[in-house]
Amino acid sequence: MVDKQSSVIGKPIDRVEGRLKVTGKAKYAAEIATENVAVGVVIQSTIALGHIEKIDRRAAEGSAGVLAVFTHENRPMTLTETKEGKNLFLLQDDQIRYDGQIIGLVVAESFEQAEHAASLLEISYKPEHANTDVEKCANEKQKNLIEVKDSHYKRGDFASGKAAAVALIEETYRTPTETHNPMEPFSTIASWEGDSLTLHDSTQAVFSVRQNVATILGLAADKVRVVSSYTGGGFGCKLSVWAPLVVAAMAARKLDRPVKVVLSRHQMFGPVGFRPATIQAITLGAKGDGTLTAMGHHAVQETSSFADFMEEVTICTKSTYACANVDTQHHLAHLDIGKPTWMRAPGHATGSFAIESAMDELAYKLKMDPIELRIKNYADKDPDSGLPWSSNSLRECYKQGAQRFAWEKRNPQPCSMRDGNQLIGMGVATALHSYWRNPASASVQLLADGTAIVQSGSQDIGTGTYTIMTQIAADKLSLPVEKVSFRLGDSNMPKAPMSGGSTTAVSVGPAVAQASMDAITKLKQLAVGDKKSVFFNADASKIEAKDGMLFLSSQPSKTESYASIVSRTRSKSLKVEANTDVGENEKNYSINTFGAQFAEVRVDADLGIIAVARFVGAYDAGRILNAKTARSQMLGGITFGIGMALTEHTIIDHNFGRIINSDFAEYHIPVHADIGAIDPFFLDTKDEQANILGAKGVGELGITGVAAAIANAIYHATGKRIRDLPITIDKLL
């Protein structure tokens, strides 16, 4: 059952770490003061496939300040041959599998010295032709195009549903390779003390890094400590362990001194993951009244030749709309590229572009309002699992979003709305994101000065974890926010899951809440057993807590402070730890977040220049834990979606298999001047079934459906349906 309305949870309080960040006192991984630290610069391959014939290290090794140049010829450590370690290519051999593969590390006294020495390396290769074209692979049905095992999903009779359709859409939609570009690139400082390794790392997964690095290096997990007090964004790429981190640890061991490695912006392209390109064939069939009779979604997605990565792009198709007859399938094209990875709302963001664009096309074919078509096919329960929704306010999202956006002013005819030379278009799309929760632990320590220290080895990737956990603890401890200190980012703290899939708030939050409530329970027990307490021998169930004080519900004037009770304990503190897991309700209900995305675009009639003038998002994400940080997440997600729709595209020259736009000059992400008015809002529905907080997570819902809403608006403005992202001027002209 969700707790009573709180005076703290949900409020738009400022970030508790905000002042540290704006004053520069918040230290990120590369900024940790480390005595005698050396600096490493990674060396990347300049071919996409083949092998190294020769590396001449002499000039580099003789350069000023250089401590070592490590390659496959003098790898600094022997590794445990795990599958993951092999797939990272930690200088094991001379083989090149993809453009930008890490093939060496130069370590020097300073960054400038390491950079200069790296430029002196002479490397010769024997290149081979690299297969990097997912389109060609799919069209030619090459032998490296493999159906994902157990990916063929069927519901009902798709063929009969398609045959019964009065209106039919059969189109193909494409999304390109996209590269994560968090403000903070990958950064690591590796330090050894004997056989124990400490990593200050920019990560989204403190405990996952600890376990994976320990496995690769052949260490016990308790011999690796990972610290990540602040992470400057990740968007999925920092969920994994990549080669630069492990190579830094190897070099530090060999040199017997700390080694820092920070990737450049250029080095973020290729060796540390990306969103894979997809080709998505969509079939939608409907009756004349808009009732869906068939939904088909067959996807081809690129992955590396050496390791599978599947982005489940059909996930929204299975659950968003009520349709009896569904057929989805997923193929992987194994190419000579790096390993893809998760990128903000993986599967949901990519798949929703295809299915929500197709729904818009179907609406036009049926001459129905796009919102009306979606409401017509609203699912009263999860069509995939058959389970009841834990809560679903999607209808209300459509209604309130449309009102706020002024959808009623939209003329449904394409090319019908204009302001001077600007073509105006309005588009809508549904947003849906899955709910995932993982086991988590947290500890609470009440101190003799009346304050509390709360800890969980989670990480704050810029989303506001410090703040919302402080709010949860303050509420459950019945303490002012300023008396609660929440600490995270250390594998020596209670175990917490990775921050991906919008899981942190709904995993760590309940653990913090439970530990806080257990701390108050233990405090009451101490009081009733303490002869010096005013509550000695009282009924603990009759004692309540408020503002750092205990009091009897029958005698509110009979009080004692937490500080007074704790100060009489031998340790002058009270500490508890709680562990939480998935609840039974989460197994009996389908839990998702929902939303309706509304975009207004303006397109220059002569030049084809596109601007997103307005964006409104209406969201059902359960209980909102901090109104300010949650809104900020949606602003970021929508902006991310604008980039997905209009600008972001990692381009590979298929003649050579090389990325040709690995910098901000050519890989375009939205900046302030690109962004119009964004107006996200929440229904704040408090999901009674999700967890004790009623929250469902917000981090990735904001991007889902954004690209489709913009594409649909562009069609409404111009009459041109663009099915290949990003939608650039040349495609309109």
Domain end: 238, 268, 298, which one? 268
- Is the pLDDT confidence value at 82 over 90? no
Residue 149 forms part of a structural domain: no
pLDDT in tens, 241-273: 999 999 999 999 999 999 999 999 999 999 999
The answer for residues whose C-beta is within 8 angstroms of residue 586's C-beta and 6 or more apart is: 390, 435, 437, 689, 690, 691
pLDDT value of position 1: 40
* Residue whose C-alpha is closest to residue 361's, from 174, 175, 168, 598: 168
Contact 218, 84 (CB under 8 A): no
The partner residues of 226 in beta bridges, in order of sequence, read 199
Contact 191, 181 (CB under 8 A): no
Residue at 523: amino acid letter: L
The total number of structural domains that make up the chain: 3
Say whether both 394 and 461 belong to one domain: no
Say whether both 694 and 709 belong to one domain: yes
Say whether both 665 and 714 belong to one domain: yes
Say whether both 597 and 538 belong to one domain: no
> What does the pLDDT average to over 589-615?
98
Look-up: residue for tokens 């508890």?
576
Residue 478 forms part of a structural domain: yes
Rounded to 10 degrees, the C-alpha dihedral 395/399/402/407 comes to: 100
* Residue whose C-alpha is closest to residue 561's, from 488, 480, 635, 453: 480
Phi/psi of residue 477, nearest 5 degrees: -85, -10
pLDDT in tens, 189-221: 999 999 999 999 999 999 999 999 999 999 999
Please spell the DSSP secondary structure of 530-545, one letter per residue. Answer: -TTSTTTT--GGGEEE
pLDDT band, residue 80 (cuts 50/70/90): confident
Query: What is the value of pTM for the model shown?
Result: 0.97
- Is the pLDDT confidence value at 3 over 70? no
| Mean of the per-residue pLDDT values of the chain | 97
pLDDT band, residue 6 (cuts 50/70/90): low
Contact 473, 406 (CB under 8 A): no
Say whether both 456 and 576 belong to one domain: yes
Indicate which CATH number applies to the domain containing 69. Answer: 3.30.365.10
pLDDT in tens, 337-350: 999 999 999 999 99
Say whether both 370 and 421 belong to one domain: yes
Say whether both 569 and 598 belong to one domain: no
pLDDT value of position 87: 86
Reading phi first (left if > 0) and then psi (alpha if -120 to 50, else beta), residue 348 is in alpha
Say whether both 543 and 577 belong to one domain: yes
Say whether both 401 and 364 belong to one domain: yes
Residue 716 forms part of a structural domain: yes
Residue 667 forms part of a structural domain: yes
Separation in Å, CA 56 to CA 61, 71, 118: 10, 10, 11
Say whether both 431 and 442 belong to one domain: no
Say whether both 508 and 412 belong to one domain: no
Residue 68 forms part of a structural domain: yes
Residue 124 forms part of a structural domain: yes
Q: Kindly name the residue from 356, 361, 586, 700 that is annotated as catalytic.
A: 700
Residue 387 forms part of a structural domain: yes
> CA–CA separation, 431 vs 701, rounded Å?
7
Look-up: residue for tokens 């900024």?
31
> What does the pLDDT average to over 539-555?
96
Instruction: State what percent of residues in the chain have pLDDT above 90.
Output: 97
pLDDT value of position 85: 75
Say whether both 343 and 376 belong to one domain: yes
**Other Cβ atoms closer than 10 A to 537:** 9
For 312-348, the three-class secondary structure string (H helix, E strand, C coil) is CCCHHHHHCECCCCEEEEEEEEEECCCCCCCCCCCCH
Instruction: Locate the DSSP E strands across 343-434.
Output: 418-419, 422-434
Residues in the chain: 733
Lookup: tokens for 146: 């493999």
> CA–CA separation, 162 vs 157, rounded Å?
9
> CA–CA separation, 719 vs 101, rounded Å?
43
Specify the pairing of strand 38-44 against strand 452-455: unpaired
Phi/psi of residue 642, nearest 5 degrees: -65, -40
- 81 among known catalytic residues: no
> What does the pLDDT average to over 552-580?
96
Cα 196-197-202 angle, rounded to 5 deg: 160
Domain of residue 453, residue span? 438-581
> CA–CA separation, 394 vs 619, rounded Å?
8
Domain end: 581, 612, 641, which one? 581
The partner residues of 69 in beta bridges, in order of sequence, read 106
Contact 432, 628 (CB under 8 A): no
Residue 142 forms part of a structural domain: no
pLDDT value of position 510: 98
Look-up: residue for tokens 């964006």?
615
Domain end: 268, 293, 312, which one? 268
- Is the pLDDT confidence value at 103 over 80? yes
